[in-house]
Structure 1
Amino acid sequence: MAMGKTPGSSDDEGDSAGFAEINITPLTDVMLVLLIIFMVTSTVITQQGPGGGTKTGLKVNLPKGGSADVTARTTDISVAVLADGRFVLAGNVVAEAELKQAFDKAKEQNPDTVVIVQADEGVSHGTVVQVMELAKQAGLGQLAIGVREGN
């Protein structure tokens, strides 16, 4: 076999095989592995959300409401109130004092920060008001309540 000959060229031996094939199997394998890695990491990132973003990765049974009027920004703070009354901020269960510190820090960074309260249906009204009062004491006056769209 003549090395370096182009397909279709004539040679004295009559062998015109050359390098007419490209093996793409390794390329396909690498691309499939990368696709799987990106799919797994994107779901993890979506569940965690940016520091204090609206997605906390916890299942909160939100009450039904109208269509969403508030579009969450990366600077907004989302506080989930679980059915047992615990507060969740950025995926971590926090105490009331830590929640107040987070509100104070958010006020320093951006005074227009919106506090989105995502409370479970079983949470008492007083607990939701407690979170809202902490936000107002820190100087954050823009409050929103997270609901799921109801039909």
Structure 2
Amino acid sequence: MMKIDLLPEEKSPQLMIIPMIDIIFFLLVFFMMSMLSMVVQKSVPLTLPQTASAKVSMTRNIPVTVTADGTLYYEQEPMTLAGLAERLQQDAARGEDISVILRGDEAAAYGKIVQVMDLVKNLGISKVYIATDSKG
């Protein structure tokens, strides 16, 4: 008599590590990209002039904006030139390593931007950057 085995032999489950690594990397990239889109910049929206490269320092960056109509902003707060000087002087007095990012609209008066740069230089702030957009 011939014996027929109706129950197949049970194999132990295998843990496939390569697909799990792929999924983990996919999740890592997904969360990194979603965090980059959540970065908030405290400044007023405007059209920046374009350059081939842009560089930002790792110190405390203070955005100072000059709009097309000549209005000054410290972050998102409108200011006069004297108010801006007082505010920057307070920041410099704290002893932090600060840098000013000057964001001037393309249509802003050149003299107004030079006044702000002169003010920053007179306060002893040596790190002044001019914000631009890169040419696409």
TM-score (norm 2): 0.66
Give the letter aligned to residue 106 of structure 1. D
Deviations 1:93-137 (A, max 9, x none): 111111001111111123531111000000122111100111111
Could you list the structure 1 runs, at least 4 aligned residues long, displaced by more than 2 angstroms after superposition.
Answer: none
Aligned CA RMSD, in angstroms, stands at 2.2
Report 1:38-57 matches (<5 A). 46=40, 49=41, 55-56=42-43
Residue 62 of structure 1 is matched in structure 2 by 48
Deviations 1:25-72 (A, max 9, x none): xxxxxxxxxxxxxxxxx96x82xx4xxxxx31x221100012221245
Which sections of structure 2, spanning at least 5 residues, go unmatched?
1-36
What's the TM-score once normalised by structure 1's chain length?
A: 0.60
- The answer for the alignment partner of 2:129 in structure 1 is 144
CA distance in 2, matches of 1:128, 1:65: 18
Which range moved further: 130-139 or 104-113? 104-113
Shift of 1:142: 1.2
Q: Alignment length, in residue pairs? A: 101
| Residues 100, 128 of structure 2: 8 Å contact kept | yes
Post-superposition Cα deviations, 1:62-96, rounded to whole Å, max 9, x if no partner, equal 000122212454x2211010000010112111111
Q: Which residue of 2 aligns with 1:89?
A: 74
Specify which structure has the bigger relative contact order, considering alpha-carbon pairs within 8 angstroms and separated by 6 or more residues: 2
Structure 1 unmatched runs, 5+: 1-41, 50-54
Percent identity (aligned) = 29
